[in-house]
Structure 1
Amino acid sequence: MSKKTPRRPSSLIGFLLRWHPRLGGVVGLAIIAWGLSGLAHPIISRIQPSAAAYVYKLEPFSSAGVLTVSDAAERAGLTQSLSAVRLLAWQGRPYYRLQTAADVIWLDARSGAVIERAERDYAEFLARHYVGDQDSAVKSLSLQTEFDEDYVFVNRLLPVWRVEFERDDGMRVYVDTASDRLGTIVNNTKAATSVFFRNVHSWIFIKNDSLRLSLMTICLVGGGIIALAGILQYFLQWRAGRGWRQGRPTLKFHRLLGVSVALTAVTFTGSGLYHLWQKQFVLQSEMVAAKYFDAAQINVGWSTLNPEIVQADMVAIGNEAYFRTWYGGVLQYSNALNGKILVDGERLHALALAAQYLPTNAPVKAVRAVDSFNDEYGFVNKRLPVVAVDYERSDHLSVYVEPRSGALATVVRDADRYEGFSFAFLHKWNFIDGLGHTVRDIIAACFAAGIAATFILGMTLFLRRARRR
């Protein structure tokens, strides 16, 4: 049997000349949309509204005269079990914020009096603090328990209060009264640009998740193949003496621009595809039900613990209630029933939370306090400070929990680390952060624009040829 003769370069050039534009005609609009939205992203991020403040700092207060939870609840006539208790000072007075199965109730911590509308008033107070507006009237104030087009999943915190002001820019502020945190601020400009980006870049207009995943996968793979084929086609034509200088101006510019951005097109589409599919294999955590405790039994005496308090939050460790309390920079866990101090409480609480959310038989390798965002635990996770529980597993599982709220912040495995590295370096170009974020964004935006322009020129050439035929 004779040995098969390898394809000659001229034959391969012909194949590429036929199928490179055809494939581009199929996926071109998607690549152009991604390129233009990638170009717009740094612009969008710079025209969005900025908060006047990003942190609300609680003031310390004297524990003298502060009633126990049981005494305050008895004076207020409350008999419901409590899933959350918070002690804080607001406008110079200490208050209890109590969470029942049906409602949030505020009590004066020194008299036990019920404070009507305190939850709504505190939400408005926080919103004004974060947006820096003490004058505009409040147009609407409502509790939001799920994400929507205005308050998207990337903001993480729920439930939050939505406070909309009577302003020309339609400013609305989302705040979490359980932790004093800012969810986000949104004005009409941010809302419009968010809708544009999420539709053009993330294709949320396709409601069927499987269909959206399939179409995006096809277009990302196709875009990468086109870029690689373009590089090969250019090399073969250059070797055959038919470089970018030959042909009509549109064709010459398409070739020159294409070879300049082809490698970037491969990294953008490849990292985008990796990011898209990695999200389909996120570890699913267990649902953790809230635990309720009888208010009559929560009788820790504050003045016996410390004369000055910053804040205290009731948390559950196993089946016992503890107060996670800050005393002037010192964190302490005390039993909510008898005031007994729990040694190493933060670590024990983090271990208990991690075991609830991601049960595993693997031994614990380390427990780490995380006070700032980093490459593994990025800003997208929102919550700080958190505790990372690392396990001795082949995938190096790390479970990040927030002891203050008892929430699961995120779960990270090696697969997530690899994808995070790929997305940060190949898609967001963090490898040139040393040049400054503005320079990085300009360079990345120029390449995104170049990719979009290359496909626009390519589709123009394809349509011209189609009309001639």
Structure 2
Amino acid sequence: MQTASLSRKVHKWLFLFVGVQALLWTLSGVYMVVMDLDFIHGDHLVKNLREPLPTEQGTLAPTQSLLERYSGVKSIQLKALQGNPYYVVNTGEGAHLIDARSGRQVSPIDGDRARALAEHYYTGSLPAVSAELITDNPPTELQSRALPLWRVNFDDRYGTSFYVDPDTGALVTRRHNYWRAFDFFWMLHIMDYEERADIHNPLLLVISIVSLTGVLAGLILLFYSFARREKAADTAATAGGAQ
């Protein structure tokens, strides 16, 4: 009986301590399991991510001229943006977007071009409502992505935001309200309230161990509860037979 009494006390007090977190684990887990990950990633919101090169490219600026113009070139990529060919020249100092026909550098792109590109990547028909160049203090939804980035917002039912690289014109990532809810629940689930990425943080480890101890105490208590019922049933059967 001492074991049962101790298990009861441990189970009660530990779950008084971690009960709210256990509830949050359950609620956040349900949301993350129910929601389709492709939807959360915003796959339904984007198009033209791998745009084919135009069949009629015309005369392109020679890459040799780019090697002579930029120092420390690491790579040169030819790609299409809105139906036109562009070079992306990667150097030790960063990336540069070059009009492949004229050889003119067009990066960093301005807000109007960022909005036009975001609308080009967007599957919806609504125009972008705003564009903001983020150079510091990024929102948590950007996580560890490098700045600067253009944030282009759409007034749709998802609360969609596209993040466009000003140096390459590429769509870096997309965010919407269901993703933001997922990220919030993920934060609650792993108990990393700053970076929302560390699943090995000390707080989660401690609470997990405490919760496991409470569950084990509950299992012990459950065993003694069934044993007590069986003993009571046997006593009642014996008393009935004696009569």
Could you tell me the TM-score, scaled by structure 1's length? 0.39
CA distance in 1, matches of 2:113, 2:44: 18
Q: Is the 8 A contact 2:114 2:131 kept in 1?
A: no
The match for 1:161 is: 149
CA distance in 2, matches of 1:86, 1:104: 11
Out of 37, 43, 53, the position equivalent to 2:46 is 53
CA distance in 2, matches of 1:81, 1:127: 30
The match for 2:118 is: 127
Distance 1:147 1:130, change over 3 A: same
Q: Is the 8 A contact 2:129 2:155 kept in 1?
A: no
CA distance in 1, matches of 2:131, 2:58: 38
Out of 162, 166, 191, the position equivalent to 1:173 is 162
Distance 1:115 1:28, change over 3 A: closer
The match for 1:204 is: 192
After superposition, the C-alpha distances for 1:223-251 in whole angstroms (9 at most, x for unaligned) are: 112222222221222122179xxxxxxxx
Out of 56, 59, 63, the position equivalent to 1:69 is 63
After superposition, the C-alpha distances for 1:302-329 in whole angstroms (9 at most, x for unaligned) are: xxxxxxxxxxxxxxxxxxxxxxxxxxxx
Local SS of the residue matching 1:51:
helix
The match for 2:235 is: none
CA distance in 1, matches of 2:215, 2:89: 59
Letter in 1 for 2:49: Y
Letter in 2 for 1:68: P
Local SS of the residue matching 1:241:
helix
Letter in 2 for 1:51: H
CA distance in 2, matches of 1:91, 1:215: 48
Letter in 2 for 1:12: T
CA distance in 1, matches of 2:164, 2:49: 11
CA distance in 1, matches of 2:103, 2:189: 53
Shift of the alpha carbon at 1:109? 2.5
**Equivalences for 1:394-433 in 2 at 5 Å?**
none
After superposition, the C-alpha distances for 1:151-174 in whole angstroms (9 at most, x for unaligned) are: 235xxx645734322526542112
> Percentage identity across aligned positions?
20
CA distance in 2, matches of 1:90, 1:51: 20
CA distance in 2, matches of 1:92, 1:29: 54
Local SS of the residue matching 1:94:
strand
Out of 203, 217, 229, the position equivalent to 2:217 is 229
CA distance in 1, matches of 2:49, 2:201: 40
Distance 1:134 1:102, change over 3 A: farther
Distance 1:25 1:161, change over 3 A: same
CA distance in 1, matches of 2:135, 2:44: 20
Letter in 2 for 1:201: H
After superposition, the C-alpha distances for 1:108-136 in whole angstroms (9 at most, x for unaligned) are: 32332343665866654543244324542
Letter in 2 for 1:20: H
CA distance in 2, matches of 1:73, 1:138: 39
CA distance in 1, matches of 2:87, 2:4: 76
Q: Is the 8 A contact 1:51 1:130 kept in 2?
A: no
**Equivalences for 1:58-457 in 2 at 5 Å?**
58-60=51-53, 61=55, 65-71=59-65, 78=69, 80-102=71-93, 104-115=95-106, 118=109, 123-142=114-133, 148-153=139-144, 158=146, 161-167=149-155, 170-175=159-164, 182-191=171-180, 193-194=181-182, 196-205=184-193, 213-241=201-229
Distance 1:112 1:23, change over 3 A: closer
After superposition, the C-alpha distances for 1:342-362 in whole angstroms (9 at most, x for unaligned) are: xxxxxxxxxxxxxxxxxxxxx
In the alignment, structure 1 segments of 5+ residues that lack a partner are 1-9, 244-469
CA distance in 1, matches of 2:173, 2:219: 43
Local SS of the residue matching 2:220:
helix
Cα RMSD after superposing both structures: 4.0
CA distance in 1, matches of 2:107, 2:114: 13
Q: Is the 8 A contact 1:106 1:119 kept in 2?
A: no
Q: Is the 8 A contact 1:81 1:100 kept in 2?
A: yes
CA distance in 2, matches of 1:84, 1:121: 28
- Whether 1:14 aligns to 2:2 is no
Q: Is the 8 A contact 2:87 2:98 kept in 1?
A: yes
CA distance in 2, matches of 1:30, 1:121: 46
Distance 1:160 1:118, change over 3 A: closer
Q: Is the 8 A contact 1:138 1:163 kept in 2?
A: no
After superposition, the C-alpha distances for 1:329-379 in whole angstroms (9 at most, x for unaligned) are: xxxxxxxxxxxxxxxxxxxxxxxxxxxxxxxxxxxxxxxxxxxxxxxxxxx
In the alignment, structure 2 segments of 5+ residues that lack a partner are 232-243
Shift of the alpha carbon at 1:57? 2.6
